Amino acid sequence: MVHCPGCGTTLEDETDIEFTDRDSTIGIINSSKRFYTASCAACGRTIGSGVAGARGNAGAA
């Protein structure tokens, strides 16, 4: 289980994390992949980031 380092909220659900697609701002990433950042839904602090496959299973709403 993950806790937000900013506000201490327990991040146990996809709804507690806000994924922001960054692929439009990262020129070096091949278009077949999507770079994203994960932020706390409560305070907006960036928790982590990564690259997802084209299928985009990052819990898109």
Q: List contacts with Zn ion (CB under 5 A).
A: 4, 6-7, 9, 40, 42-43, 45
**For the purposes of burial, counting CB atoms within 10 Å of the CB of 19, is it exposed (0-12), middle (13-18) or buried (19 or more)?**
buried
Q: Which is nearer to Zn ion, 18 or 23 (CB)?
A: 18
CB of 11 to Zn ion, least distance (A): 8
Q: Which is nearer to Zn ion, 38 or 40 (CB)?
A: 40
* Side-chain-side CA neighbours of residue 45 (13 Å): 11
CB of 55 to Zn ion, least distance (A): 28
